[in-house]
Amino acid sequence: MVPDADAGSSGSNANDLQAPPPLPPRRMLSTERGTLQVTPAQSTPTTAVSSVDISTLSFPDGSRGTFTTSAMRAVSTPINTGSGRVSPSLGPPSGDLAESMSVMSFAPTMKPAGDLASLVAGGLNRKSRAWQLLRSQSATVQPFQTRDTGMGSGLTGFEREFDNIPDITVQGTTDDDRVALWKSKLKHYMILSSAGKPIYSRHGDLSLINSSMGVVQTIISFYEGAKDPLMGFTAGNTRFVVATEGPLYFVAISKLGESDSQLRSQLDALYMQILSTLTLPTLKNIFVHRPSTDLRKPLEGTESLLSSLADSFTKGSPSALLGALECLRLRKSQRHSINNAFLKMRNDKLLYGLIVAGGKLVSVIRPRKHSLHPSDLQLIFNMLFESGGVKAGGGENWIPLCLPAFNNRGYLYMYVSFFDGNPESNSAEPVQDRSDSEDEIAIILISADKESFYDLKEIRDKVAQQLSKNGSLTIIKAAAAGGRPKIPAIAAGAQISHFLYKSRANVQFCMSSLEPAFGGSGDDEPAKMVARRKLMSLYHQLHASMHAKHTHLKVLHCVGEDAASLAWITPIFELYCVAGPNISRQVMTQGANKIIQWAKKEEERLFIIGGGVF
């Protein structure tokens, strides 16, 4: 299934930037990981250079207006290294543009985005009166509401992305149907051993993907022989990214437009999940003794965890994108009293203790010398909240797992139980009968001692009783049920539709409510899922632009056909926001400023600062 690829590979020497033309630039993997890399602090904002395409609009009265349009990249492209700008990437095919009635010309140019102060001043792009009038009429257009140009969004069939491919036994499906379905998926993840044995594929059973795996293995090992490992290649509008981890090959195949480093960190998360199941020494041992081992047996039961991780990336996960965690918003004093109750009840079996509500962190207690790594928490959250296994199991759970960022050589033991999520009930008992609820509360206790279940259960019972007695449980339930903050309450009149705000020092983020346009339930859920992916794709593009090597971009403002967006990075925070296409830069920047002020004021409510330390 691998189309004739204009394959490129990049060298093992990551510092050699003199790549021959057909090869994508190399990247320094070592610095790509982690989330704490802080760009050199600069006291004055630099004038950022970004790829902003200017389009000109002609009005019936003869006047013309110009506006910028973001370069929507159909294919994720490796971000240029060595240049201080984002590569002006493939725009939509001009045929599409000609059909779109309002856009008269399309002239890609480079334009300085200006620092924020000058953006606020608003003198940058003065428009004709007619333009202002037109814009003021339609300023309330929401993002992604322009009629879908089909090809343009590249999301055709995304509603069916997660549908299963029927297996061979289902009557009336031919192999051709199955292959066609398989090819229609926008995102694939594959894991195989370097000997070519399939380990995991998100879509399709073994009979379907075996030959593809063979091709992938052949391609990868061809380059490996040349001492020049294959990092990725592009075929048509599909980007292939390859990661080699010891005896394993990880492949991401995406039509969703993520950057290579974003895809690579997704693959890294899948690798972490495998380590979490097996530990590194076990994984190595297996292949040292028998390189042709079928890893599916030892990994049995891990598929659903890999798939829920993969699907969260395909849907678009702000947490994975930002490498940060989301917390439940609580008053400082409330969080304090929860932390204290937690700290008071701990015993010496406890390594880490967490309370989580609806996938958001409520409280963490930890020893002074250890902190929890976001990638480890991502695995735990995925297991508990995304994949159904533990949640549906009921009762209290005792789970051996390896947290690779903490220590990839051994297992820890995790006690998990859920509280009754029903706000009316005030029971502190472990729930045995759980309904799927957004605001369920879990308590997670981690120990290095596999015999400590009853010790940790005792902590849980005491903490639960205390939280129930002092009213904290009710507060947590109410906060979780209240959902994420709505923008009108933060930045009234800002016309911003959605934002992500990451506190870099705390490695945590917050975001505005996805409802109603990008989430929530209703009969138009498939449409919302697509809208949400569009939003996340835009965030991925902004993020990739801002984090491209050697770009010291501070502010990036993009206007596209169906949305306007702004990214703003300082040593303290990263802010990404999205609005309808007609919002002026000035209004957008004012909104961004309001969000920043809000986040600063609310910092101790939005984020866990330090947590309970013992």
Minimum Å gap between C-beta 342 and another protein is 16
Binding site for another protein (CB under 8 A): 277-278, 297-298, 300-301, 304, 383, 387-390, 392-401, 414, 427-429, 432-433, 450-451, 453, 457-458, 461-462, 465
| Residue placing its CB nearer to another protein in the complex, 299 or 566 | 299
The rounded distance, in Å, linking the Cα atoms of 491 and 473 is 30
Closest to 232 (Cα-Cα) out of 7, 2, 549, 30: 7
Minimum Å gap between C-beta 426 and another protein is 12
Minimum Å gap between C-beta 285 and another protein is 13
Cβ within 8 Å of residue 216, ≥6 positions away: 2, 190, 192, 249, 251
Minimum Å gap between C-beta 366 and another protein is 22
| Residue placing its CB nearer to another protein in the complex, 38 or 170 | 170
| Residue placing its CB nearer to another protein in the complex, 193 or 397 | 397
The helix (run of H) or strand (run of E) holding residue 503 is strand 496-503
| Residue placing its CB nearer to another protein in the complex, 299 or 531 | 299
Cβ within 8 Å of residue 132, ≥6 positions away: none
| Residue placing its CB nearer to another protein in the complex, 48 or 299 | 299
Cβ within 8 Å of residue 32, ≥6 positions away: 261, 264, 265
| Residue placing its CB nearer to another protein in the complex, 167 or 175 | 167
For residue 445, the 8-state DSSP code is: E
Minimum Å gap between C-beta 45 and another protein is 48
Minimum Å gap between C-beta 379 and another protein is 12
Minimum Å gap between C-beta 416 and another protein is 9
Name the burial class of residue 360, with classes exposed (0-12), middle (13-18) and buried (19+) by CB atoms within 10 angstroms of its CB.
buried
565 in Cβ contact with 542 (< 8 Å): yes
Q: Residue 119, by phi and psi: left (phi above 0), alpha (psi -120 to 50) or beta?
A: alpha
Widest Cα–Cα separation across the chain: 80
| Residue placing its CB nearer to another protein in the complex, 59 or 453 | 453
Minimum Å gap between C-beta 384 and another protein is 10
Minimum Å gap between C-beta 347 and another protein is 12
Closest to 146 (Cα-Cα) out of 534, 459, 438: 534
Place of tokens 């090992």: 221
| Residue placing its CB nearer to another protein in the complex, 370 or 450 | 450
Helices 374-381, 260-278: axis angle to 10 degrees equals 70
How many CB atoms within 10 Å of residue 398?
Answer: 17
| Residue placing its CB nearer to another protein in the complex, 56 or 304 | 304
